Chain A
Amino acid sequence: MGLETEKIWIYPSIKSQEKSSDLISAVDHFDTVIFASPLYINSLPASVTETMELIVNHRKTTKMTKKQQLLAISNCGFPGAHHNDTALAIYRLFAAESGFEWAGGLALGMGAAINGRSLNKIGSMARNVKKSLELTATALAKGKPVSQDAVDLMAKQPIPSWIYMQIGEIRWKCQAKKNKVRTKSIYNRPYQR
């Protein structure tokens, strides 16, 4: 599409004054800002909330004249994408408070099935996610909001919940074993009173 893009990792960017200033300048510069985050305890990770607080504080003194749109993508490890609803509601309220036009939110469940890998290498498991992102990119480039088709495709479960839950249990146990943690010890209660 020939659009200028930039990707910023939030976590390291709020570790220093200089880097957070760069992040805020970038947010001011672009026509579209996309927040993509995992679901932490039903909402956004603390570092994303901190970034949003910085942006709102900055915009109290710097008036934005251009129109900007904001898209949010939230992914969770639970099978159901609806777990992300609370996070997307928070993003939408942030957009309103900081002067962004709300372009919409995409919710992804079964995030562990992708687990940071390239969508091109996952095959059919990521087919709907790719389609959703393609639709979304086309809409945003035209300054339009996210379509319901894109929302539905992103939320679609690639496998049944019960299979995902069983695979998940096996994977956690394998990871523990690699760390020389016995299965029984996974259930430890170090703070039992």
Chain B
Amino acid sequence: MKALILDGSTEENFTLKIVHDVIIDEFKNIGWKVNSRVLRDLKIGSCYGCFKCWVQTPGICVIDDVERDIAKETIQSDLLIFLTPVTFGGYSSELKKAVDRLIPLVMPFFIKIDGEVHHKSRYERYPSLMGIGVLPNEDKESEQSFKTLVNRNAINFHSPIHTAGVIISNQDKELIREEIKTLLSEVGVKK
């Protein structure tokens, strides 16, 4: 089983670093392969919204950079993990840059899911999705917005299972570990 972490921290973030290391630890314990991409260290172009990945080079973004590898790694994973400072109730620009360019993984055509229109799937199977956001202080509104966004992304990316959690900065490492374990179990990760 394989997991891909997209780390959207915009600068060295102490809590996100702990979360990241704990996730790697937990996957080692259960024998999963895990690949981590620290997005701020990569040169990723912004999505132009040109839709050429649908009508010119179907399934592949026309921007030839590392995001093509990230899209491939995403669809070939069993679990996709978003790590990010919660930014205005959403993702950091570093994470968003990578997420925007995952659009070639779905089709341009529409389908109704639970009565709501979404894009049809391109692939037979998609990874489950786990979103973990870090907030400096408790902020219920930002937390709710973040969790809603992960939920909406999971529907659009046809994730079989998804979960989202928010961790407040400067928590004890063992408490963070417990929260991560809970989230992993919610998203069906087991040995």
Contact = CB atoms under 8 A, between A and B. Distances in A.
A159 interface: no
Interface residues of B, number: 47
Nearest to A175: B55
A8 interface: no
B90 interface: yes
Interface stretch (B13-21, B24-32, B144-152): B144-152
A176 interface: yes
A28 B59 CA distance: 41
Interface stretch (B98-106, B164-172, B177-185): B98-106
Interface in B103-160: 103, 105, 107-110, 116-118, 122-123, 141-142, 145, 148-149, 152-153, 156
B71 A191 contact: yes
A78 B118 contact: yes
A97 B135 CA distance: 13
A50 B108 contact: no
Contacts of B49: 38, 40, 45
A190 interface: yes
B90 to A, nearest CB: 4
Contacts of B96: 40-41, 43-46, 49
A99 interface: no
Contacts of A193: 75-76
A53 B47 CA distance: 18
A185 to B, nearest CB: 6
Nearest to B125: A193
B87 interface: yes
A168 B107 CA distance: 12
B126 to A, nearest CB: 11
A179 B97 CA distance: 26
A53 B117 contact: no
Contacts of A80: 116-117
A52 B100 contact: no
B149 A165 contact: no
Contact of A43 (B71, B91, B109): B91
A90 B89 CA distance: 6
A94 interface: yes
Contacts of A168: 108-110
Contacts of B105: 191
B117 A78 contact: yes
- Output the residue of B60, B100, B105, B118 with the most chain A CB within 10 A: B100
A49 to B, nearest CB: 4
Given A181-B56, A193-B75, A186 B107 contact: yes
17 contacts: A42-B152, A44-B90, A45-B46, A46-B93, A47-B93, A50-B93, A53-B10, A53-B92, A53-B93, A89-B89, A91-B88, A161-B117, A172-B54, A176-B55, A186-B108, A191-B71, A191-B105
